[in-house]
Chains A and B, each alone.
Chain A
Amino acid sequence: MTAADGGRGVAADPRTAALTFAGVGLRYPGGTRALDGIDLSVAPGEFVSVVGPSGCGKSSLLRIAAGLQAPTAGTVTGRGESVGYVFQDATLLPWRSVRANVELFGELRGLGREERRKRAAEALDLVGLADVAGHRPRTLSGGMRMRVSLARSLTLRPGLFLLDEPFGTLDEITRERLDDDLLALFAARRFAALFVTHSVLEAVYLSSRVVVLSPGPGRVVGEFDVPFDYPRPAGLRFDPEAARLAALVSACMRGAAAP
């Protein structure tokens, strides 16, 4: 059922993978190492979560994947033009309406107005926010803003989604609801996803594979296949088998953190 292989496992074939890290390391100018020898692949249509303690370089891994930061060692391949990046904060532009926010990426990528409008309407429909398209972000709840942020990334129809603890600041109920929304989007669009979280339960509930990073410098210390099919029932959160798997992932994390 699970494969805690001690790390270094590369599940997807790097030639066809949506994203591949090969020996990726990151060292800050001061000499601090954030990441060390990361080998990791995400196959098309695969949902991979990365868990690890604070400061293990999870967010840096995503920034490197997105090309926002260059690794100091190793290579990253496979990220194409269409990468959706969802930040911890919704990062909406407060002066724009919800619709104009969702159209932003299309605008930056030079899509025509009609096409932008169409894609924004589609994406807002998909996240259930078509009726607040004309509102300003400040009138929305935190969960709704995050949905707008998801919709904004969907407009580019990305083959790869990078999500950096997107629901970390939300209350539990909203967070669960957004996890379900994300799963529904995943079922509809079947993108590849690399999802960073500090919640083991969330990682198990969402992903087809969970990768555990050690405390900084982050190394892959465990990979766990999650054997549940999509679409996933909400009841999976309370499934004993899922709980057992979460316990294993947790133990792996704690083991890596032990001195």
Chain B
Amino acid sequence: MRRALGELLTARGRRAARWLPPLAVLVCAVGVWYAVSLLVLDPDRRFLFPPPHAVVRVGFLDGDNRAELLEGLRRSAEVASLGLAVAVGAGVLLAVAMSQARWVERSLFPYLVVLQTTPVLALVPLFGFWFGFGFGTRVLVCALIALFPVVAGTLFGLRSVAAAQHDLFTLHGAGRVVRLWKLQLPAALPSVFTGLRISAGLSVVGAIVSDFFFRQGEPGIGVLIDRYQSRLQSEQLLAAVILSSLFGLAVFWFFGALARRVVGGWHESAREPGAW
């Protein structure tokens, strides 16, 4: 009984140790926010940085504003998740192709690096000319932004299989497909997830920021941010930024939890303290 209670307390302690530090940082940040807004800024300039309660009241508690924000977020989330899905599908396929033949890797990898170093967002006007400014182009931009980490993570994972394990499969006459399916892909999963989490974050940023360049079509949350800024609606602007951040955080958590579920039982990477 006493032991069970002790274990319960330790479990609570562990949970508290995990949540308290970031919570403390949040409280400090809100405190600084209040201080800047109420003490530093002149009342007639306060509209530039309204205090937190004003942001919550106008941005989240007002039904119309909230509905507008959530609708924008839904559209951006749609673009981000489809873009990510395309990036994952294409990325894993590319990585598998590159892992099967060095010449494929040698031919393609430089262009992937170019893609990674080119500011894809700067190409949005061009894509707009070619494909229009609709949903499909937004997804394409998102996918291009999110592609590289998936390819790099998957390729690294596929290549990191121990030589002795390859020998094992050679010894028993395993062909390319069997080796890929039963050895390389499962072994690559932890690295795939590492790439996936980076890509997921990029796809969210891509979906929101590319809105600034599109400025057309159905407004995602990026378009709303742009609009609030031009109308000096600071409360809604800050609410949109907070909502975007929360969405990014939720995506990060989701993929962390997915990684833990899929590879946590056998791989250390999914159990690191920072791995949520």
- Name A's B-contacting residues (CB within 8 A): 63, 66-68, 83, 85, 87-89, 91, 93-95, 104-105, 107-109, 136-138
Complex: how many Å from CA A137 to CA B266?
A: 8
Could you give 30 example pairs across A and B, Cβ below 8 Å? A63-B167, A67-B171, A68-B171, A87-B164, A87-B167, A87-B168, A88-B164, A89-B162, A91-B165, A91-B168, A93-B165, A93-B187, A94-B267, A95-B186, A95-B189, A95-B263, A104-B168, A105-B172, A107-B182, A108-B169, A108-B172, A108-B173, A108-B174, A108-B178, A108-B182, A109-B172, A109-B173, A136-B265, A137-B266, A138-B266
B183 interface hit (Cβ, 8 Å): yes
Assess whether A94 is in contact with B172, with CB atoms less than 8 Å apart: no
- Chain B residues near A67 (CB-CB < 8 A): 171
Complex: how many Å from CA A31 to CA B215?
A: 66
Assess whether B173 is in contact with A93, with CB atoms less than 8 Å apart: no
> Which A-chain residue is minimally distant from B173 (CB atoms)?
A108
B229 interface hit (Cβ, 8 Å): no
- Which of B171, B174, B183 sits near A83, CB closer than 8 Å? B171
Complex: how many Å from CA A87 to CA B171?
A: 12
- Extra A-B contacts (20), CB below 8 Å, given A93-B187, A108-B182: A67-B171, A68-B167, A83-B171, A85-B167, A85-B168, A85-B171, A87-B167, A91-B162, A93-B183, A95-B186, A95-B187, A95-B265, A95-B267, A104-B182, A107-B182, A108-B174, A108-B178, A109-B173, A136-B266, A138-B266
- Which of A68, A87, A94, A104 sits near B170, CB closer than 8 Å? A68
List 9 tightest A-B contacts by C-beta distance, closest first.
A108-B172, A94-B266, A91-B164, A95-B186, A95-B266, A87-B164, A108-B174, A136-B266, A105-B172
Q: Which of B158-199 contact A (CB under 8 A)?
A: 162, 164-165, 167-174, 178, 182-183, 186-187, 189
| Dominant secondary structure at the B interface | helix
Complex: how many Å from CA A144 to CA B130?
A: 62
- Chain A residues near B168 (CB-CB < 8 A): 85, 87, 91, 104
- Chain B residues near A88 (CB-CB < 8 A): 164
Complex: how many Å from CA A87 to CA B167?
A: 10
Q: Nearest Cβ distance between residue A205 and chain B, in whole angstroms?
A: 26
- Chain A residues near B186 (CB-CB < 8 A): 93, 95
Complex: how many Å from CA A138 to CA B270?
A: 14
> Which B-chain residue is minimally distant from A63 (CB atoms)?
B167
Q: Nearest Cβ distance between residue A134 and chain B, in whole angstroms?
A: 12
> Which A-chain residue is minimally distant from B168 (CB atoms)?
A91
Q: Which of B126-172 contact A (CB under 8 A)?
A: 162, 164-165, 167-172
Complex: how many Å from CA A89 to CA B189?
A: 22
Assess A89 versus B164: contact at CB under 8 Å? Given A108-B178, A136-B265: yes
Q: Mark B233-276, 1 if CB is under 8 A from A, else 0.
A: 00000000000000000000000000000010111000000000
> Which B-chain residue is minimally distant from A106 (CB atoms)?
B172
Complex: how many Å from CA A105 to CA B186?
A: 17
- Chain B residues near A107 (CB-CB < 8 A): 182
Complex: how many Å from CA A108 to CA B170?
A: 10
Complex: how many Å from CA A255 to CA B124?
A: 75
Q: Nearest Cβ distance between residue A78 and chain B, in whole angstroms?
A: 16
- Chain B residues near A68 (CB-CB < 8 A): 167, 170-171
- Chain A residues near B265 (CB-CB < 8 A): 95, 136
Complex: how many Å from CA A68 to CA B169?
A: 11
| Max count, chain A CB within 10 A of own CB: residue among B167, B169, B170, B183 | B167
Complex: how many Å from CA A138 to CA B266?
A: 7
Complex: how many Å from CA A148 to CA B176?
A: 26
> Which A-chain residue is minimally distant from B170 (CB atoms)?
A68
- Chain A residues near B263 (CB-CB < 8 A): 95
- Chain B residues near A108 (CB-CB < 8 A): 169, 172-174, 178, 182
> Which B-chain residue is minimally distant from A88 (CB atoms)?
B164
Q: Nearest Cβ distance between residue B168 and chain A, in whole angstroms?
A: 6
- Chain A residues near B164 (CB-CB < 8 A): 87-89, 91
- Chain A residues near B165 (CB-CB < 8 A): 91, 93
Q: Nearest Cβ distance between residue B201 and chain A, in whole angstroms?
A: 26
Assess whether A66 is in contact with B266, with CB atoms less than 8 Å apart: no
Complex: how many Å from CA A93 to CA B169?
A: 11
- Chain B residues near A66 (CB-CB < 8 A): 171
